[in-house]
Amino acid sequence: MSSFPGSPRILKAGLVLIDPDSAAVLRVIALQYNPDSLTRSLAVQAISADGGDRSEVLRLKGPPVETIKLEAEIDATDQLEFPDQNTVTTQSGIFAQLATLETMIYPTSAQLNMNDALAQIGTLEIIPMETPLALFVWSQTRILPVRVTELSITEEAFDTSLNPIRAKVSLGLRVLSVNDVPTGHKAASLFMSYLQQKERLAGASPVVPLSALGITGVP
């Protein structure tokens, strides 16, 4: 709790895992500290980029492929100051927080056991295992359906039992657009909301006259 009652509440960035069919929330993962920076890259999906007809130069195949990279820190120092209230951290450091992130990109043990059982009884075709749909939440205006493409963890400090107590996490995400999922998928509607929010913001930006560029018209 802040010592100043009038101080603003700082929102946390994080990930939400939902059931892709029912949209039920399965887990909320809040980053302990908000990253200082966020890198976003957008790869244009232009027809002309792959040697198409010159008459198609301004046409797009779909939304750009957007990727996000960030670094987050996890530190057990605060919890270790109050060991009676944080027994999990006292016993295993930040393993629980790291495991929460790591299990996003693992199939569950139940899924692996089921596929193993199907293989043993001779099932010819085993459907690939589906993970929950991940949403990257960076404020109320940016809620993006994503797929985790990269997860790198650097453990930087340990307790006397070699449990990690400080780590840096590098996370790579790919935004899922309407081109990546079937029609009617929850990720598609979330992406459309994200795009429409961009359009509203672009429409609200100040109008810049041509004179700002030192010209009076287009030749």
Q: How confident is the model at residue 207 (pLDDT cuts 50, 70, 90)?
A: very high
Q: Which of 125-134, 143-152, 207-216 has the lowest mean pLDDT?
A: 125-134
Residue 1 has pLDDT above 50, yes or no: no
Find out whether 40 and 146 touch, Cβ atoms under 8 Å: no
Distance CA 130, CA 208 (A): 47
Higher pLDDT among residues 47 and 39, named by residue? 39
Count of beta carbons in the 10 Å neighbourhood of residue 44: 11
Q: How far apart are the first and last CA of the chain?
A: 60
| pLDDT computed for residue 19 by the predictor | 93
Per-residue pLDDT of 47-99, as tens digits, reads: 875 566 777 788 888 999 999 999 999 998 777 666 666 677 778 889 999 99
Which pLDDT belongs to residue 49? 58
pLDDT at 2 over 50: no
Residue length, the chain? 219
pLDDT at 33 over 70: yes
What percentage of the chain's residues is helix, strand, coil (to nearest 5)? Answer: 30, 30, 40
What's the confidence (pLDDT) of residue 198?
93
Backbone angles phi, psi at 122, to 5 degrees: 90, 20
The confidence score (pLDDT) of residue 83 equals 67
In whole angstroms, give the CA distance from residue 202 to residue 213. Answer: 19
User: What pLDDT shows up at residue 103?
Assistant: 93
Overall average pLDDT of the 178-200 stretch: 94
To the nearest 10°, report the CA torsion of 156, 162, 164, 165. Answer: -90
Give the pLDDT of residue 51: 61
User: In 3D, which of 181, 157, 178 has the Cα closest to residue 167?
Assistant: 157
Q: Output the pLDDT for position 80.
A: 67
The answer to whether the beta carbons of residues 151 and 105 sit under 8 Å apart is yes
pTM: 0.84
Q: Residues 83-112, buried b or exposed e (16+ Cβ, 10 A)?
A: eeeeeebbebbbbebbeebeebeeeeeeee
Which carries the bigger pLDDT value, residue 54 or residue 134? Answer: 134
- Mean pLDDT in residue range 164-183: 95
**Across 132-138, average pLDDT:** 96
Measured CA to CA, the distance from residue 119 to residue 113 in angstroms comes to 10
Residue that wins the pLDDT comparison between 129 and 110: 110
